[in-house]
Amino acid sequence: MNLFDWAEFRTTKSGIKLHILYDVELQLPAFFLISNAKGHDSKVMNGIPYKSGSYYIFDRAYNAFKWLYLIHQTKAYFVVRAKSNLQYEVVRQNHNLGNNVLLDAQIKLTGFYPKRHYPETLRIVRYWDEEHKREFTFLTNNNRLKASKVALLYKQRWQVELFYKWIKQHLKVKKFWGQSRNAVEIQIYVAIITYCLVSVIKDKLNLKQSVYEILQILSGSLLDTTPLIELFDSTNFQNVKDHDIDDGQLMFDF
| Residue 211 belongs to a domain | yes
52 with 99, same domain: the answer is yes
pTM of the model: 0.81
150 with 55, same domain: the answer is yes
pLDDT value of residue 225: 87
- Amino acid in position 89: E
pLDDT confidence bin for 114, thresholds 50/70/90: very high
Number of folded domains in the chain? 2
131 with 210, same domain: the answer is no
Domain end call among 109, 135, 154: 154
CB 69 within 8 A of CB 80: no
Predicted confidence (pLDDT) per residue in 8-29, tens digit = 898 888 999 989 899 988 888 9
| Residue 12 belongs to a domain | no
Say whether pLDDT at 243 is over 80.
no
Domain end call among 154, 184, 211: 154
pLDDT value of residue 233: 82
Domain end call among 116, 131, 154: 154
pLDDT value of residue 135: 94
Residue 196's domain comprises 160-250
Predicted confidence (pLDDT) per residue in 135-146, tens digit = 999 999 999 999
| Cβ-based neighbour number of residue 95 at 10 Å | 6
For residue 151, the number of C-alpha atoms closer than 13 Å in the C-beta half-sphere is 22
Predicted confidence (pLDDT) per residue in 42-86, tens digit = 989 998 999 999 999 999 999 999 999 999 999 999 999 999 999
113 with 171, same domain: the answer is no
